[in-house]
Structure 1
Amino acid sequence: MPKLFFQKWLPSSEKIAKLKLMKVFGTRTLNPLLWYVNRHAIAKAIFIGTFWGILPVPFHSLFIVLSILYFEVNLPIGLCMAWLTNPLTVVPILYLGFWFGAQMYHVKMINNEMLLGVLHQMINWLRNFGHGHIDFHLAKILVSGLFVEALLCAVLLYIVTHLVWRWMVIKKWKSRHKKG
């Protein structure tokens, strides 16, 4: 059953509470609801972790923990979803986010000239220690697209979690009744 799998796999509340990030929140991380394993707690934690994990915000783990403390869902699963954005996935995530943004604003995808222009602006901005012009038109497209991507992926994984969990429970139930 999925519940048994998660209970074996997840670390203890004491182990997580000892992490530097968790010490900021004190004893609130020892709340039993943050360690409860059921279909709803896991699915909501996956939604929260996926949403904040895809968005390009600094310290997204902090936002995940704050959301999980507010909604009182499974803390370790939510934090694991923060690893969605890593060096291997960041390029596809950014590309898909820009694609969604381009569709929303009815603009063409970025081409080589536009990419070189943005790179040139960034180099000049760095050379002048933060002074200079940067065209934030592309940033607006990217951030809007990433928000839509984060929301769509979070909803999709939330639904998939519910469906897979239910399928596994039904499968286990049927196999028990065939034996008995």
Structure 2
Amino acid sequence: MAKKFFQSWLPSSHKIAEMKLMKIFGQRTLNPLLWYINRKSISKAIFIGTFWGMLPLPFHSILIVLTVLLFEVNLPISLCLAWLTNPLTLVPILYVGFWLGAKIFQVNMIDQDMIMGVLHQISHVITHFGEGHIDLSLAKILLSGLMLEALIFALIFFILTRLIWRWNIILHYRRRRLTKSEY
């Protein structure tokens, strides 16, 4: 069953509480609700971890922990999903974010000239000690696309978790019924 699967590989609450990151939050990380394994807790934890994990932010693990402490869902599952944004997945995540942002604002997808223009603006601001400006329209497009992408993927993973969990329980009861009918 899904519950046994998660219990088999999740670390203990004391092991996580001893981590340097968790010592910031004190004894709140030992709350039993943060370690409870059921369909609702795991699916909400997957939603939170996926949402913050898809956003390429610095220190998104802290944001995950804060949100988990607020909603009291499974902490280790959410923290595992912080690794969704890594060097291998960053480029596709950013590309889809730009694509969604371009669709939201109904603009053409960025091209090489746009990127070179923004890089020139950034280098001008850096070399002239803050004089000049940077066009933030690309940042607005990227940020809105990334937020929408994170929300979409978080919802998909949330629904998939609920469906797979339910399907697993149905299979478990069918197997149990079949073994009872054999005797």
Q: Could you tell me the TM-score, scaled by structure 1's length?
A: 0.96
Q: Paired residue for 2:112?
A: 112
Q: Paired residue for 2:19?
A: 19
User: CA shift at 1:134, angstroms?
Assistant: 1.0
Q: Paired residue for 1:156?
A: 156
Structure 2: distance between partners of 1:129 and 1:119 = 15
- Count residues in correspondence: 180
Structure 1 spans left out of the alignment, 5+ residues: none
Whichever residue aligns with residue 81 of structure 2, its letter is M
Structure 2: distance between partners of 1:129 and 1:44 = 45
Question: Highest CA radius of gyration, 1 or 2?
Answer: 2
Whichever residue aligns with residue 119 of structure 1, its letter is L
Q: Is the 8 A contact 2:34 2:68 kept in 1?
A: yes
Q: Paired residue for 1:122?
A: 122
User: CA shift at 1:179, angstroms?
Assistant: 1.8
Whichever residue aligns with residue 144 of structure 1, its letter is S
Structure 1: distance between partners of 2:129 and 2:173 = 64
Q: Could you tell me the TM-score, scaled by structure 2's length?
A: 0.94
Summarize deviations over 1:42-70 as a string: whole Å, max 9, x none.
00000011111112332111111011001
Q: Is the 8 A contact 2:53 2:83 kept in 1?
A: yes
For structure 1, which segment, 108-117 or 28-37, has the greater mean C-alpha deviation from structure 2 after superposition?
108-117
Summarize deviations over 1:110-156 as a string: whole Å, max 9, x none.
11111211222233333345543211000000001111111111111
Structure 2 spans left out of the alignment, 5+ residues: none
Structure 2: distance between partners of 1:128 and 1:46 = 45
For structure 1, which segment, 56-65 or 70-79, has the greater mean C-alpha deviation from structure 2 after superposition?
56-65
**How is 1:1-180 mapped onto 2 (pairs within 5 angstroms)?**
1-180=1-180
Distance 1:174 1:130, change over 3 A: farther
Distance 1:168 1:132, change over 3 A: same
User: CA shift at 1:27, angstroms?
Assistant: 0.4
Q: Is the 8 A contact 2:97 2:146 kept in 1?
A: yes
**Alignment root-mean-square deviation, CA:** 1.2
Summarize deviations over 1:6-49 as a string: whole Å, max 9, x none.
00110000110011110011000000000000010000000011
Structure 2: distance between partners of 1:15 and 1:111 = 48
Percent identity, aligned pairs only?
63
Q: Is the 8 A contact 2:52 2:60 kept in 1?
A: yes
Q: Is the 8 A contact 2:56 2:90 kept in 1?
A: no
Structure 1: distance between partners of 2:148 and 2:113 = 26
Please give the secondary structure, in 2, of the residue aligned with 1:44: helix
Whichever residue aligns with residue 20 of structure 1, its letter is K
Whichever residue aligns with residue 25 of structure 2, its letter is F
Structure 2: distance between partners of 1:92 and 1:174 = 40
For structure 1, which segment, 140-149 or 119-128, has the greater mean C-alpha deviation from structure 2 after superposition?
119-128
Structure 1 segments (4+ residues) deviating >6 Å: none
